[in-house]
């Protein structure tokens, strides 16, 4: 595959797949059609040149390949001939190539599907994550994730779940699962669960794009809050790693590298959302991110306000991960001993025992307190749990520093 075709695959394959699912009405058939279309592109484009509208070309080619496949199989399954004839008779042209991913995400997040299946299917079909990557995000086995995806596709097919954006009347009750999955997509891009890079910009960009589309559909506080939260986090991307790709902690980041336009847009959305009734966890998390954004440097951060926001958030959504984040804020406000006591309490009751960031925080607090052996043990445990190369190098650096 040439670099040009690889670039088109990265930018267009999920859009093409979403449209093929709409046209063909079947996930598996659409995926086969997508792969066949790119196979033809690899054969033809180097000689014929890349089409003026590659997305439309790929959709058209994939559609015809699917029809041909159904007709070949119709010799053994006669009902497929009728399906092929219906597809052939579709009123479709190359101009009929719209961005169908919002339709697809509502289909993947239909309430008839279990929440874990919704998320797995969305990450696979919308974001092109492998089953191994999804399994890491869910702390599950690839086999388990593959089974969830197969069952979800079967449920969509058997229940004839419509491939459409819900009506305005249906949107509010369908929104929670979609927001959860969009944020999951963003998080996988903002802090990849595994691999050589800390971030996957194509995923954060896609999640923000979906957030903007959702806000156009339903300008409610939590939609504003989620979009604001993603924008504020994304504004820090350039400062999160060094020029050599090493992890840079928030309080050590060069804030001149933060994207001022994204920060301004995010903060404005937070203000709009908090002025309305019905704000929830996404708005509160965005408000915390906005406090960070408004501080000129780490030393001027209003940690008391951040702790207070975490207190409100915990009342709405009790979660050991949120408790851990609050513990870090408490440590910045009251010192490492206060933070360590909170982290120890979380771990002692059996929460976050497989979560590398809990041990990383414990190690950091112990290091600051001069408890070298305890810090070393905590960092080693965190190192054994992370699958991400920059985080591994960061923890290895911390361990090396303890020897001096």
pLDDT in tens, 96-107: 555 677 788 888
What is the DSSP-derived secondary structure letter of residue 198? S
Structure tokens at 254: 């060069």
CA distance 284 to 308: 10
The CATH code for residues 3-88 is 1.10.1740
Q: Where are the beta strands (DSSP E) in 240-298?
A: none
pLDDT in tens, 278-306: 789 999 999 999 999 999 888 899 999 99
105 touches 22 (CB < 8 A):
no
125 touches 193 (CB < 8 A):
no
Q: What is residue 99's predicted lDDT score, i.e. its pLDDT?
A: 62
> What is the b/e burial string over 245-282, where b = at least 16 CB atoms within 10 angstroms of the residue's CB?
eebbeeeebebeebbeebbebbbebbeebbeeeebbbb
Q: What is residue 77's predicted lDDT score, i.e. its pLDDT?
A: 65
pLDDT in tens, 87-145: 666 766 555 555 677 788 888 888 889 888 998 898 888 878 888 878 876 768 899 99
pLDDT in tens, 305-343: 999 999 999 999 999 999 999 999 999 999 999 999 999
CA distance 105 to 121: 9
374-393: average pLDDT: 92
238 touches 231 (CB < 8 A):
no
**Residue 26 — left, alpha, or beta (φ > 0 → left; ψ -120 to 50 → alpha)?**
beta
């Amino acid at each position: 595959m040439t670099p040009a075709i690889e670039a088109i695959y990265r930018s267009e394959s999920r859009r093409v797949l979403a449209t093929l699912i709409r046209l063909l009405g079947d996930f598996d058939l659409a995926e086969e059609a997508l792969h066949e279309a790119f196979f033809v592109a690899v054969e033809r484009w180097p000689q014929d040149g890349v089409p003026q509208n590659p997305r439309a070309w790929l959709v058209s080619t994939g559609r015809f390949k699917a029809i041909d496949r159904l007709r070949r199989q119709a010799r053994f399954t006669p009902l497929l001939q009728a399906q092929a004839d219906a597809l052939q008779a579709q009123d479709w042209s190359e101009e009929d190539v719209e961005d169908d991913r919002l339709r697809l995400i509502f289909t993947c997040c239909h309430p008839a599907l279990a929440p874990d299946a919704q998320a797995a299917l969305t990450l696979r079909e919308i974001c092109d994550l492998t089953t191994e990557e999804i399994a890491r995000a869910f702390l599950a086995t690839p086999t388990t994730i593959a089974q969830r995806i197969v069952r979800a596709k079967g449920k969509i097919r058997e229940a004839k779940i419509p491939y459409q954006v819900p009506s305005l009347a249906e949107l509010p009750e369908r929104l929670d699962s979609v927001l959860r999955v969009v944020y999951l997509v963003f998080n996988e891009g903002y802090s990849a669960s595994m691999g050589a890079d800390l971030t996957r910009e194509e995923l954060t960009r896609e999640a923000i794009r979906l957030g903007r589309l959702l806000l156009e559909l339903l300008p409610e506080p939590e939609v504003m809050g989620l979009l604001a939260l993603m924008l504020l986090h994304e504004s820090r991307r350039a400062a999160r790693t060094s020029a050599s790709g090493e992890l840079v902690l928030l309080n050590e980041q060069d804030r001149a590298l933060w994207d001022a336009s994204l920060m301004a847009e995010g903060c404005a959305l937070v203000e709009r959302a908090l002025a309305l009734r019905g704000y929830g966890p996404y708005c509160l998390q965005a408000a915390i991110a906005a406090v960070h954004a408004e501080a000129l440097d780490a030393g001027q951060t209003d940690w008391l306000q951040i702790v207070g926001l975490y207190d409100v958030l915990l009342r709405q959504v009790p979660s050991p991960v949120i408790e851990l984040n609050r513990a870090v804020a408490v440590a910045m406000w009251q010192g490492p001993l206060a933070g360590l006591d909170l982290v120890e309490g979380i771990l002692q009751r059996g929460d976050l025992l497989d979560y590398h960031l809990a041990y990383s925080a414990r190690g950091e607090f112990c290091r600051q307190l001069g408890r070298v052996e305890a810090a070393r043990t905590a960092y080693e445990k965190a190192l054994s749990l992370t699958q991400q190369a920059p985080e591994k190098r960061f923890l290895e650096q911390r361990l090396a520093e303890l020897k001096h």
